[in-house]
Amino acid sequence: MPNGIAKQNLPTKICPACERQFAWRKKWAKDWDNVVYCSDACRRKR
């Protein structure tokens, strides 16, 4: 992700555990394609 993108324009996904929408984060930059859950709690709940 290049710098300078407005927050409302970031890519989003739907969490299969809680069914909420979550947005791209810088810590997920390298593996955004592999991110499935919005949090560790949702990953444990699956």
Question: What confidence tens digit (pLDDT) does each residue in 5-18 have?
Answer: 788 889 999 999 99
Q: What pLDDT band is residue 28 in, cutting at 50, 70 and 90?
A: very high
Q: How much is the average pLDDT of 23-42?
A: 93
Say if CB 23 and CB 11 are below 8 A apart.
yes
Q: What pLDDT band is residue 2 in, cutting at 50, 70 and 90?
A: low
pTM of structure: 0.76
Share of the chain above pLDDT 90, in %: 70
Q: How much is the average pLDDT of 13-24?
A: 95
C-alpha triplet 24, 42, 36: angle, nearest 5°: 45
